[in-house]
Amino acid sequence: MSAILLFMAVIALIVGWWLAQQRLTAKPWLEEGAIGDFPGTGAMALPAAKIGLGVFLAVAGSLFALFISAYYMRMNMVDWRALPVPRLLWLNTGVLVLSSVALQWAHVGARRNDMDRVIVGLCAGGASAVTFLVGQVLAWQQLSVAGYFVTSNPANTFFYLMTAAHGLHLMGGLVALGRTTAKVWHGAEMTQVRLSVELCAIYWHFLLLVWLVLLGLLTGWTDDFVDICRRLLN
């Protein structure tokens, strides 16, 4: 359970940092009056959708951290046989990085009021994300052709399960991205899509980060890293 506890500690730090600015030690019964006297303690000025995305990322992060915790606990059992990571995953990783870069590009374009750039960025990002998903399915196919079925070993099951969970999150993102692109296509103003583009970019970066962590886990790098940490501590 160390992965999820680490994740919770990070969340606790963020929440604690935010609460620390909210004057939780104030004596509210002495502070009658308008809010103007206590700047920064009112409602957040950020758009609701952006805060909502932030909270959602915490939930999704918790989900993946729990998968990782379960992975580590299950992995120490005797019957665990790590499976070879298909080369294709490296290509897929590259494609996902491209996808993230394209959306960042669109996001910068949106800030600079450059609609052409936004369109190119959104389309490139969407296309490469779809390519990534196709690549993941191909990787599954390669594995099952090579005899690594879902049920033959828990390592295989975790591989399919975690890549599927990540893929489903990406597909959810594609729905949002598709709606934004459609809006742009139908000639929406920049002000109407700027926020959506930004949120898509943030979500894409998050999923890229999750993917890199999962990749590290599945290739066994994370193990080596954890081992080194352990040795340093001992």
Partner 1 sequence: MVDVPYGATAGIPPAEVEEVELYHPKSWWTQYVFSQDAKVIAIQYSLTAAAIGLVALVLSWLMRLQLGFPGTFSFIDASQYLQFITMHGMIMVVYLLTALFLGGFGNYLIPLMVGARDMVFPYVNMLSYWIYLLAVLVLASTFFVPGGPTGAGWTLYPPQAILSGTPGQDWGIVLMLVSLILFIIGFTMGGLNYVVTVLQARARGMTLMRMPLTVWGIFTATVMALLAFPALFVASVMMLFDRLLGTSFFMPALVEMGQQMNYGGGSPILFQHLFWFFGHPEVYIVALPAFGIVSDLISTHARKNIFGYRMMVWAIVGIGALSFVVWAHHMYVSGMHPKFGFFFATTTLIIAIPTAIKVYNWVLTLWRGDIHLTVPMLFALGFIVTFVNGGLTGLFLGNVVVDVPLSDTMFVVAHFHMVMGVAPIMVVMGAIYHWYPKVTGRMLDDWLGKFHFWVTFLGSYLIFFPMHYLGLLGIPRRYHDLGEAAFIPSSAHTLNAFITVAALIVGFAQMVFLFNLVWSLFRGRPSGGNPWRATTLEWQTPHTPPRHGNWGKELPVVYRWAYDYSVPGAAQDFIPQNQPPATQAVQGAAP
Partner 2 sequence: MAVAIILLLVAVGSVLFHLFSPWWWTPIASNWRYIDDTISITFWITGAVFFAVIAFMAYCVFRFHHKEGRRAAYDPENKKLEWWLTIGTAIGVGAMLAPGLVVWHQFVTVPADATEIEVMGQQWRWSFRLPGKDGRMGTSNVRNISSDNPLGLNLDDPHGQDDVVIESGDLHLPIGKPVKVLLRSVDVLHNFYVPEFRAKMDMVPGMVTYFWMTPIRTGTFDVLCAELCGTAHAQMRAKVIVQEEADYRAWLDHQQTFAELSGRITAMKTTYKSGGEQEKPLRR
Contacts with partner 2, residue ranges (CB under 8 A):
27, 29, 73, 76-78
Q: In terms of Cα–Cα distance, which of 84, 68, 72, 77 is closest to 156?
A: 84
Judged by CB under 8 A, which stretch of 23-31, 126-134, 201-209, 214-222 contacts partner 1?
A: 23-31
The one-letter amino acid at 112:
R
| Residue closer to partner 1, measured from CB, 106 or 198 | 198
Kindly tell me the burial class for residue 166, based on how many C-beta atoms sit within 10 Å of its own C-beta (0-12, 13-18, 19 or more).
buried
HSE of 182, CA atoms in CB hemisphere, 13 A? 6
147's contact among partner 2, partner 1, none, with CB below 5 to 8 A by partner kind, is none
Pick between residue 2 and residue 113 the one whose CB is nearest to partner 2. 2
158 CB contacts (<8 Å, ≥6 apart)? 67, 70, 71, 74
Is 13 a residue that touches partner 1 (CB under 8 A)? no
CA-closest candidate to residue 103, choices 209, 212, 198, 211? 198
79 binds partner 1 (CB under 8 A): yes
Nearest to 100, CA basis, from 211, 215, 204: 204
Q: Toward partner 1, which CB reaches closer, 79 or 116?
A: 79
Both tokens of 197, joined, read: 């583009």
Q: Which does 36 bind (CB under 5 to 8 A by kind): partner 2, partner 1, none?
A: partner 1
Binders in 102-141 for partner 1, by CB under 8 A = none
* Structure tokens belonging to residue 171: 């597909």
Which bin fits 40, alpha (ψ -120 to 50), beta or left (φ > 0)?
A: left
Interface with partner 1: number of residues (CB under 8 A)? 54
Stretch that binds partner 1, among 25-33, 85-93, 119-127, 198-206 (CB under 8 A): 25-33
Q: Which is nearer to partner 1, 105 or 203 (CB)?
A: 203
Binding site for partner 1 (CB under 8 A): 1, 4-5, 8, 11-12, 15, 19, 22-29, 31-36, 38, 41-46, 48-49, 51-52, 55-56, 58-59, 62-63, 66-67, 69-70, 73-74, 77-80, 150-151, 154, 157, 161
